[in-house]
């Protein structure tokens, strides 16, 4: 009798679950700095891997044209989280925007300035009077170029800035510009497209700020902590997967990334990006954690260089409390 009742109860519970609507997912849209390219395969692979769905998140991605555009798209309500860079973060804060940095995506500075050896550009001082390409005027390539210039007493008035577009090395290969500001992955792509015999100036040798961070508005940070915690837990899971399984990520990028046709190229880019995801701080505390002193040094440097006017206290503007244990 009791066995019959238990069976009847189980059937009733199963029927109830089947008749109930699926648990609603919380929509989180990420405003990116780029198009859906292979280096963010851990986000693009969501339909295949389901890291975010597993945490109750319906992930969306809004392409952008640089870190500044990512913040702007978030501020206009088109996204919840900005996939941006510290320079864009500092500049927005300097304009009075109320923002909080919540996750250190790439702790290593991957920006550089690349030029053919024949141009004889081996140090920042050599950029004076030169034509230099950037991805866009709101991109980290431009802002990190500004850091290099200011470190040696130069400014954008001493060079000619040319917008060449994302991952477009044709102008420097063809001699339309003398040098181009790029990233480690961009340089890899450029070399595959014929860029050779080059000099590379690494921005990290001047200031090793994180390349990219997640930023939200103060209001979102205050009112959506549970959703953000689940979003960050899912992101960290996706990043850990791409670090552990780069070959699988490279295969998925073939169909998920707009520049992912070549699996071998995907793998090289993914490995570069994986390397930039870790630091001594993340090794000690886990993926996503900031080095607060470095972020403060970045803000102070930007003010010293005249890029911002405000005194920014990173102790209150950079938070790690939403990063999972």
Q: How far apart are CA 217 and CA 195, in angstroms?
A: 40
pLDDT computed for residue 195 by the predictor: 86
**Average pLDDT in the 15-20 region?**
38
Residue 20 has pLDDT above 60, yes or no: no
pLDDT computed for residue 74 by the predictor: 98
List Cβ<8 Å contacts ≥24 apart for 222-230.
Answer: 224/80, 225/322, 227/26, 227/28, 227/57, 228/81, 228/102, 228/322, 229/322, 229/324, 230/26, 230/55, 230/56, 230/57
Residue 3 has pLDDT above 80, yes or no: no
pLDDT computed for residue 22 by the predictor: 55
Residue 156 Rama label (left phi>0; alpha psi -120 to 50; beta)? alpha
Residue 283 has pLDDT above 80, yes or no: yes
pLDDT computed for residue 14 by the predictor: 38
192 or 127, which is more confident? 127
Residue 51 has pLDDT above 60, yes or no: yes
Residue 166 has pLDDT above 80, yes or no: no
- pLDDT tens figures, 258-282: 999 999 999 999 999 999 999 999 9
pLDDT computed for residue 17 by the predictor: 35
**Average pLDDT in the 285-308 region?**
92
In this structure, of 34-43, 57-66, 93-102, 303-312, the range with the lowest mean pLDDT score is: 303-312
pLDDT computed for residue 165 by the predictor: 86
Mean pLDDT across the chain? 91
**Average pLDDT in the 115-122 region?**
96
Residue 167 has pLDDT above 80, yes or no: no
């Amino acid at each position: 009798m009791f066995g019959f009742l238990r069976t009847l109860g189980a059937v009733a519970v199963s029927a109830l679950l089947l008749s109930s609507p699926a648990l609603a997912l919380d929509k989180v849209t990420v405003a990116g700095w780029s198009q859906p390219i292979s280096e963010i395969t851990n986000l693009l692979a969501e339909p295949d891997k389901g890291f975010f769905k597993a945490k109750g998140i319906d992930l969306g991605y809004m392409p952008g044209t640089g870190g500044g555009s990512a913040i702007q798209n978030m501020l206009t309500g088109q996204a919840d989280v900005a996939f941006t860079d510290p320079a864009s973060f500092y500049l927005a804060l300097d304009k009075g925007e109320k923002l909080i940095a919540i996750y250190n995506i790439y702790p290593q500075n991957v920006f550089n300035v690349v030029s053919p050896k024949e141009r004889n550009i081996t140090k920042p001082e050599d950029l004076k009077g030169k034509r230099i390409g950037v991805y866009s005027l709101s991109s980290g390539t431009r802002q990190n170029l500004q850091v290099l210039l200011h470190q040696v007493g130069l400014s954008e008035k001493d060079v000619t800035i040319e917008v060449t577009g994302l991952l477009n090395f044709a102008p420097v290969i063809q001699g339309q510009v003398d040098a181009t500001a790029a990233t480690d992955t961009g340089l890899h792509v450029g070399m595959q497209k014929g860029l050779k015999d080059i000099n590379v100036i690494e921005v990290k040798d001047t200031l090793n700020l994180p390349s990219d961070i997640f930023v939200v508005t103060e209001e979102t940070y205050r009112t959506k902590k549970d959703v953000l915690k689940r979003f960050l837990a899912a992101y960290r899971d996706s990043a850990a997967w791409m670090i552990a399984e780069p070959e699988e990520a490279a295969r998925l990028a073939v169909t998920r990334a707009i520049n992912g046709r070549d699996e071998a190229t995907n793998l090289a880019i993914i490995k570069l990006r994986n390397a930039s995801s870790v630091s001594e701080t993340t090794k000690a505390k886990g993926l996503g954690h900031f080095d607060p002193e470095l972020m403060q040094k970045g803000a102070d440097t930007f003010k010293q260089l005249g890029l911002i006017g405000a005194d920014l206290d990173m102790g209150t503007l950079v938070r790690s409390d939403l990063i999972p244990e």
